[in-house]
A = this chain, B = another copy of it.
Amino acid sequence: MNSSQPALPPGFLAGAVACGIKSSGGPDLALLVSRMPATAAAVFTRNKVVGAPIILGRRMMRRGVLTACVINSGCANVCTGERGLADAREMCALAASTLATIGIPAEADQILPSSTGVIGRFLPMERLREGLPRLAASLGGSLRHSQRFARGILTTDTRPKTAAATFLLNGRRITVTGWCKGSGMIAPNMATMLAFVATDAAIAAAPLRAAVRQVAAETFNCVTVDQHTSTSDTFVVLANGQAANRRIMASGPAWRKFTQVLHDVCDALSRQIAADGEGATKLVRVWVTGAATAADARKAALAIANSPLVKTALHGADPNWGRFVSAAGYSGAKMNPGQARCRVGSIEVFKAGRPTAADPARVAALMKQNEVEIAVDLGAGGAQRCRIYTCDLSRRYITINADYHT
């Protein structure tokens, strides 16, 4: 990662307006545009209940070409039946009309819609009909436009989330810039609710799809805030080829380099989601090692990361590591307690079936930091491991989700 400013790659425009869907009055309608059709790949939620935008999006992605992404926050357009589908289609058609007014030709079925917010409400179409035509005037390629786009896609997030990197490929400088939102209803798969990545790399559809799938598994699908997999999760990459590198056609050194940079950008975004989890006061890295299988490592790491008892111990900086070890124990992963170990930060607290002589006060001090690492080795004889980002569970999570009615 060699850039933290989310500059738009060449050929991309972004913008956002407020149209009154979010009660806060902030920007709630956003557009990311490539001046020319871009190769695109996406992964979507695996929830069996999905929003109308996901149903449309899955169909669009069969062709692997997108010109734009249009996003509203404040209403998810989920559980809304046929009317929801018609509303999502109209949202894309209105975005296409808007783009036509500034000379960017775009088919409605090459504009990916995304909606997040409350489930079970119809999109307020009168507001979208008023706001979408104004989006064209908000578009631009500057850093300011990129930052406004980042804000336009947020819901309960407390801060915008962006990451960017540039790298050289065949002597051409390539930019990869990502934006995401996500704070609650966050769990694999997908961990992020919405993540958009724009790049000027030239890459064919199949290798882009492979890169997106691999990176999603390693980054967004390794974040959990509250184990509640959303109905709207979308991670999409648009590659418009403006860097004019030799087009990446298959796996090989260029593909690996591109995929590694995409991974770094998405890893940075996924950390930001966990750190900004609803009510979070700290970022937590859970490491599970010594697992018999990769699936076991993931199961145990998610059990630890999702346990309310673990998350409250982290919140209170309570060195009660029995909660970490026992969560691994109920995860279903193969475990040998007599060989298992547990570590908080750099301090080993449990080894060979019994407590170490670690000083609880020193463990508690480590747990008071902004970033905490907890590690459990399952002692199951394997070498498989998994890392999950999560956060603590605070009273503010309850306040956010119980007190402010939807």
Chain A residues at the B interface, C-beta cutoff of 8 Å: 46-50, 76, 78-84, 118-121, 184-185, 187, 226-231, 306-310, 312-313, 315-316, 318, 320-323, 325-330, 333-335, 337-338, 340, 349-350, 352-355, 364, 393-395, 397-399, 401-403, 405-406
**Structural contact, A316 and B394, CB atoms closer than 8 A:** no
Decide if B395 touches A48 in the complex (CB within 8 Å): no
Chain B residue nearest to A331 in the complex (CB): B48
Identity of the chain B residue whose Cβ is nearest the Cβ of A80 in the assembled complex: B354
Expressed in whole angstroms, the Cα–Cα distance for A121 and B395 within the complex equals 28
Inter-subunit contact B401/A313 (CB<8 Å): yes
- A25–B308 Cα gap in the complex (Å)? 28
Which among B185, B229, B309, B395 is the interface contact of A184 at CB below 8 angstroms? B309
In the assembly, what is the distance between CA of A159 and CA of B184, in Å? 33
> Which of A120, A307, A312 has the most B CB atoms < 10 Å from its CB?
A120
* A306 proximity list for chain B (CB < 8 A): 227
Please tell me if the beta carbons of B406 and A320 are within 8 angstroms of each other in the complex: yes
Given contacts A80-B355, A320-B406, contact A330 B401 (CB under 8 A): no
Check if B353 sits within 8 Å of A308, measured CB to CB: no
Q: In the complex, A338 Cα to B49 Cα: how many Å?
A: 9
Tell me which residues across on chain B come within 8 A of A355, comparing CB atoms.
79-80, 120-121
Asked, given contacts A79-B354, A185-B309, whether A330 binds B47 with beta carbons under 8 Å apart, the answer is yes
CA distance A326 to B226 in the complex (A): 13
Residue of B nearest to A336 (CB): B48
* Complex: A184 Cα to B338 Cα, angstroms: 25
Closest B residue by C-beta to A306? B227
Most buried by B among A47, A308, A333: A308
Which one, B81, B352, B364, B398, contacts A398 given CB within 8 A? B398
Q: Are B329 and A49 in contact (CB under 8 A)?
A: yes
Please measure, in the bound complex, the distance between the C-alpha atom of A229 and the C-alpha atom of B306, giving whole angstroms: 13
Contact of A337 with B228 at beta-carbon distance under 8 Å, contacts A321-B120, A330-B187, A402-B316 already known: no
Q: Nearest chain-B residue to A83 (Cβ)?
A: B354
**Contact in complex: B354, A81 (CB < 8 Å):** yes
| Residues of B with C-beta under 8 A to A308 | 226-228, 308, 393, 397, 401
Closest to A354 in B: B81
- B residues in contact with A406, CB < 8 Å: 318, 320
Q: Assess the A318–B405 pair: CB atoms within 8 A.
A: yes
Complex contact A49–B328 (CB within 8 A): yes
The answer to whether A228 touches B398 (Cβ under 8 A) is no
CA distance A230 to B399 in the complex (A): 28
* Nearest CB on B from A226, distance (A): 5
Q: How far is the CB of A351 from the nearest CB of chain B, in Å?
A: 10
Query: Known pairs A82-B353, A227-B307. 14 more at Cβ < 8 A?
Result: A46-B330, A48-B337, A50-B337, A79-B325, A79-B337, A120-B321, A120-B325, A185-B309, A228-B326, A231-B326, A313-B401, A315-B402, A395-B398, A395-B399
**Contacting residues, chain B, for A402 (C-beta < 8 A):** 312-313, 315-316, 318, 393-394
**B49 and A337 contacting across the interface, CB-CB below 8 Å:** yes
CB distance from A62 to the nearest CB of B (A): 21
Q: Which residues of B contact A326 (CB under 8 A)?
A: 47, 49, 78, 119, 185, 228-231
A79-B229 contact given A48-B337, A318-B405, CB 8 Å threshold: no
Who on chain B is nearest to A121 by CB? Answer: B355
A80 contact set on B, CB distance < 8 A: 353-355
How far, in Å, is A193 (CB) from chain B's closest CB? 12
Contact B49 A119 (CB under 8 A): no
Q: How far is the CB of A208 from chain B (nearest CB, A)?
A: 27
